[in-house]
Amino acid sequence: MKLSSANINVMVKACRKASKVLIRDFGEIEKLQVSIKGPGDFVTASDRKVEKILIEELQKARPNYSILSEEIGKIKNDDSFKWIIDPIDGTANFLHGIPHFAISIGLEHNEEIICGIIYDPIKDEMFVAEKGNGSYLNNQRMRVSSRTKLKDCIIFTGGPKKDSPEADLALSQYKKFSSEVLIPIRKLGSASLDMAYVAAGRCDGFWQRNLNHWDIAAGIILVKEAGGFVTDFAGENKYIENKTILVTNSKINKEMIEILK
């Protein structure tokens, strides 16, 4: 089985088209590492090119929907439907020639995410979900892991940024989790793929502070439709307002909340 609703088809088409630019530009990064100018400006240009293609494709298919995107901000139309876009999630990885980044698109209806797609163009892995219809990786159904004990789990996180006022708190939580699990905490540099990997059962949990809506929108529906939990650090559904997100296979949720307290 695969998801093939009208909205999903629009998202897949947009990702496929934008990914061609991303793959080509990623192939140029290695050459730019030794240039005088450096790759930073090049990556910014790639971000904008990918965003432009995504917006053009989405607007062509759904001209009345609003858009929230990392680079350009808001395009206000019918606010009951909103595309939420991150053209390159994992720009630091992209910048350094590390093949771990993704295009992320979520579709919000009346402030609830109803569809999501996270596409890793280098590995050609497309994570897709739709409310009530499940989560899929390249057309194969995904489920979260079934591990029940935190000590046996693989946990992902990200950050904190150097200038974050909560850097010490984030590092303290990192230290607490590290003492609870046998396998060291992973920091892979792409929040959307971290969430997609929880949905796919590749890892068991993920937590992070101060993420933006476009970082997590698509991942929210992927995890929920794969049977996982998405909450804030207190176990509530205020992860957007509080800018704290906890994503788990559901079985280790309480243990992780206790540590985050």
Residue 234 lies in a domain: yes
The residue among 78 and 205 whose pLDDT is bigger is 205
Are 165 and 125 found together in one domain?
Answer: no
**Residue 40 above 60 pLDDT?**
no
In eight-state DSSP terms, residue 185 is P
pLDDT in tens, 182-241: 888 999 999 999 999 999 999 999 999 999 999 999 999 999 999 999 999 999 999 989
pLDDT in tens, 52-73: 999 999 999 999 999 999 888 8
- Total domains present in the chain: 2
Asked if the bond preceding 39 is cis, omega within 30° of 0, the reply is no
**Is residue 37 very low, low, confident or very high in pLDDT (cuts 50, 70, 90)?**
very low
Residue 1 lies in a domain: no
CB atoms within 10 A of CB 203: 25
* Calpha distance 122→100 (Å, rounded): 8
**Is residue 142 very low, low, confident or very high in pLDDT (cuts 50, 70, 90)?**
very high
Average pLDDT over residues 78-90: 94
Out of 24-28, 43-47, 101-105, 132-136, which region has the weakest mean confidence (pLDDT)? 43-47
Are 126 and 242 found together in one domain?
Answer: no
Are 183 and 252 found together in one domain?
Answer: yes
**Residue 87 above 50 pLDDT?**
yes
Are 12 and 136 found together in one domain?
Answer: yes
Are 40 and 160 found together in one domain?
Answer: no
Are 21 and 101 found together in one domain?
Answer: yes
Please give the full DSSP string across 56-91, using - where no structure is assigned. HHHHHH-TTEEEEETTTEEE-SEEEEEEEEEEEE-H
pLDDT in tens, 164-179: 778 888 888 889 889 8
**Is residue 180 very low, low, confident or very high in pLDDT (cuts 50, 70, 90)?**
confident
- Run of H or E including 191: helix 191-199
* Calpha distance 66→63 (Å, rounded): 8
pLDDT at res. 112? 95
Q: Domain containing 198: what range?
A: 150-260
Are 71 and 88 found together in one domain?
Answer: yes
The residue among 45 and 121 whose pLDDT is bigger is 121
Are 78 and 163 found together in one domain?
Answer: no
